[in-house]
Amino acid sequence: MKGNQILLDHVGAREAAALLVDGRLSDLLIDGDAPRPGTVYRAVTARPAAGQGGVFVKTPDGQAYLRGVKGIGAGEVIHVQVTGYGEPGKAIPVTHKLLFKSRYAIVTPEAPGLNLSRSIRDDDVRDALLGLAHDAMDGCGMGLILRSAAAGADANAVAEDIAAMRDLAEQVARDQGTGPEVLSLGDGPHVLAWRDWAGHADVVTEAGCFESHGVLDAIDAARSARVPLGGGASMFVEATRALVAVDVNTGADGSFAAGLKANMACARALPIALRVRGFGGQITIDLAPMPKKERRTFEAALRTALRDDDVETVLAGWTPLGHFELQRKRARLPLSQVLA
């Protein structure tokens, strides 16, 4: 089937959402047991992490780690927000720079000012949205960012979205409690799909749609490390304790250009493979043999493929052994952990 489809269903008892592009699984969200990113806590500081520029804090869901803060002593009450998933056995990663994010609007309590997504280029649209933002945020000292989806949305829907995020942010700001508590839960897969997969798509909500549209089969395939790349080439994407290893193979193709073709196919397929499997952290790619002069071509292709990826990824560069490294935010739980 051509076009995009958003499927909202469950995998077992877990809420899940899938994005199909031209009939193929492009993104997958499955609820886990760990605290969801976006969750806001009232937390109590415990002890600073010596030499690391951070502090451990107590939350209702266990110990969390707040990075990049100074001058905070033990026993202080602060508001923090979950930014991602920690490695097994480690503290929950949190930040004190809260964001209240919805489909059209992001309220930023620590960054005042009204801003629009850079992708909104039409001057008339920008003027209309700025006028809407001024009215909706009147009398509020917090900041606001209008996302790209706001450009084609109904003005009343955008205004309601801004009001909802403003109300939530102000409610958290008014909190005067003293002990660890959850102040706002992060969004689940169905809300995240509505919020972040904002492009035109058909939405399917019938129970069992994962099975009828082949999503369950695609999930089973994603539990395997092997990813076909076409023409007999493949890559293996496997998580170890230290990093995610990607091994690119040319298969039976012995031609001079086989390595470059396989590596370019890897660049195009890797973001989807990482998203669906929920992999983050350090990623090392062992590429198929290719001339050094083609390295920039590979980097450009990978950068282009990551442009539409919503998980923050840094291209770290080449190692002396010719491997290519990435650093990717742990924004998802690994599929193997969620479906264990």
What tens digit of pLDDT does each residue of 252-311 get? 887 889 999 999 999 999 999 999 999 999 999 999 999 999 999 999 999 999 998 989
What pLDDT shows up at residue 51?
A: 64
Task: Kindly report the average pLDDT of the chain as a whole number.
Answer: 93
> How many other CB atoms are there within 10 angstroms of residue 164's CB atom?
15
What pLDDT shows up at residue 50?
A: 65
Gap between the Cα atoms of 9 and 14, Å rounded? 9
What is the set of domains in the chain, with CATH numbers?
1-31+188-218 (no CATH), 40-97 (2.40.50.140), 100-177+183-187 (no CATH), 223-338 (3.40.630)
What pLDDT shows up at residue 88?
A: 80
Gap between the Cα atoms of 79 and 98, Å rounded? 8
Percent of the chain, pLDDT > 90?
84
pTM assigned to the model: 0.90
User: For residue 182, is pLDDT > 70?
Assistant: yes
Q: Which residues of 108-133 are buried (b: 16+ CB within 10 A; e: fewer)?
A: bbeeeeeebbeebeeeeeeeebeebb
User: For residue 198, is pLDDT > 80?
Assistant: no
Phi, psi of 123 (to 5 degrees): -65, -40
110-129: average pLDDT: 93
22-31, 191-200, 288-297, 324-333: the lowest-pLDDT one: 191-200
What pLDDT shows up at residue 53?
A: 73
Segment 13-63, tens digit of pLDDT: 999 999 999 999 999 999 999 999 999 999 999 877 766 778 999 999 999
pLDDT category of residue 317 using cuts at 50, 70 and 90? very high
Higher confidence at residue 77 or residue 255?
Answer: 77
35 contacts: CB under 8 Å, gap ≥ 6: 59, 61, 82, 92, 186
